[in-house]
């Protein structure tokens, strides 16, 4: 599968509005926060952003998580370390999949977490398997039609009683001002929850 032909391409969907090869390794290492923690430790430390996200979604031990637009895979590792039975990430960027696999190996969670190279609008996963489907900072990268298709796919993936959790930066002001001020703060590291510092795992 090439970066420009994610799995959803064969399902009757139009090609993604933004080609997958736009999201390069350079993007994930330098523009997809919190990239500083990942770069400093090469995936061996999970930033507080992701541990805070796991707390926010109230992940319960034994639950199964699917992360649509999983990036470098940190949420998958954090979920397994918080007691999830399994965690699957879906990404159409080859660079992201490769970085995520590095993260999962560094965190020692490859037995329970995995990355799939595919289209979040039409994954190759079976329906009804996820207790939680997450989209962290993904929907702002999609067109309205792509958001609709992705949410339909998230609903298909959910087990009865499951939940979808979405986080997004809602507008340009928040991204240009608030988000950057948070990054500059010595007291907060991309804070989305109580856990705001990266912790090392062996």
Q: Is the pLDDT of residue 7 over 50?
A: no
Between CA 24 and CA 93 the distance in angstroms is 7
Q: What is the pLDDT of residues 38-89, one digit of tens each?
A: 999 999 999 999 999 999 999 999 999 999 999 999 999 999 999 999 999 9
| pLDDT bracket for residue 181 (50, 70, 90) | confident
Taking the complete model, does pTM exceed 0.75, yes or no?
yes
Between CA 1 and CA 197 the distance in angstroms is 37
**Which one of 3.30.1150.10, 3.40.50.150, 1.20.120.1630, 3.40.50.800 gives the CATH number of domain 7-197?**
3.40.50.150
Mean pLDDT of 5-20: 75
Q: Is the pLDDT of residue 37 over 70?
A: yes
Of 186 and 79, more confident? 79
Between CA 16 and CA 7 the distance in angstroms is 11
Between CA 165 and CA 50 the distance in angstroms is 13
What local confidence, expressed as pLDDT, does residue 6 receive?
A: 55
Q: What is the pLDDT of residues 82-131, one digit of tens each?
A: 999 999 999 999 999 999 999 999 999 999 999 999 999 999 999 999 99
| pLDDT bracket for residue 184 (50, 70, 90) | confident
- 70: three-class secondary structure by DSSP: coil
Q: Is the pLDDT of residue 195 over 50?
A: no
Q: Which helix (H) or strand (E) holds 121?
A: none
Q: What is the pLDDT of residues 130-163, one digit of tens each?
A: 999 999 999 989 999 999 999 999 999 999 999 9
Mean pLDDT of 11-35: 92
Between CA 43 and CA 102 the distance in angstroms is 7
**Helix, strand, coil distribution of the chain in percent, nearest 5:** 40, 20, 40
Q: Please report, for residues 109, 140, 163, 183, the alpha-carbon distance to residue 186 in angstroms, rounded to integers and kept in the order given.
A: 30, 27, 33, 8
Q: Report which of 122, 151, 146, 159 is spatially closest to residue 134, judged by C-alpha positions.
A: 151
Between CA 67 and CA 53 the distance in angstroms is 12
**Contact yes or no for 199/46 (Cβ under 8 A):** yes
Q: Report which of 112, 108, 115, 132 is spatially closest to residue 56, judged by C-alpha positions.
A: 132
| pLDDT bracket for residue 189 (50, 70, 90) | very low
């Amino acid at each position: 599968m090439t970066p420009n032909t994610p799995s959803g391409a064969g399902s009757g969907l139009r090609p993604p509005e933004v080609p997958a090869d736009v999201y390069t390794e350079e993007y994930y290492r330098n523009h997809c926060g919190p990239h500083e923690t990942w770069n400093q430790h090469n995936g061996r430390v999970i930033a507080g952003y992701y541990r805070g996200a796991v707390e926010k979604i109230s992940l319960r031990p034994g639950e199964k998580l699917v992360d649509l637009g999983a990036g470098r895979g940190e949420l998958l590792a954090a979920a397994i370390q918080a007691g999830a039975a399994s965690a699957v990430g879906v990404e159409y960027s080859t660079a992201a999949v490769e970085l995520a696999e590095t993260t999962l190996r560094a965190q020692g969670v490859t037995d329970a977490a995995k990355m799939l190279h595919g289209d979040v609008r039409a994954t190759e996963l079976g329906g009804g398997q996820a207790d939680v489907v997450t989209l962290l900072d993904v929907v702002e990268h999609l067109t309205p039609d792509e958001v609709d298709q992705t949410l339909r796919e998230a609903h298909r993936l959910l087990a009865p009683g499951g939940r979808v959790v979405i986080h997004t930066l809602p507008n340009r002001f928040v991204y240009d001002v608030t988000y950057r001020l948070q990054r500059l703060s010595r007291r907060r590291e991309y804070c989305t929850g109580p856990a705001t510092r990266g912790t090392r795992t062996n």
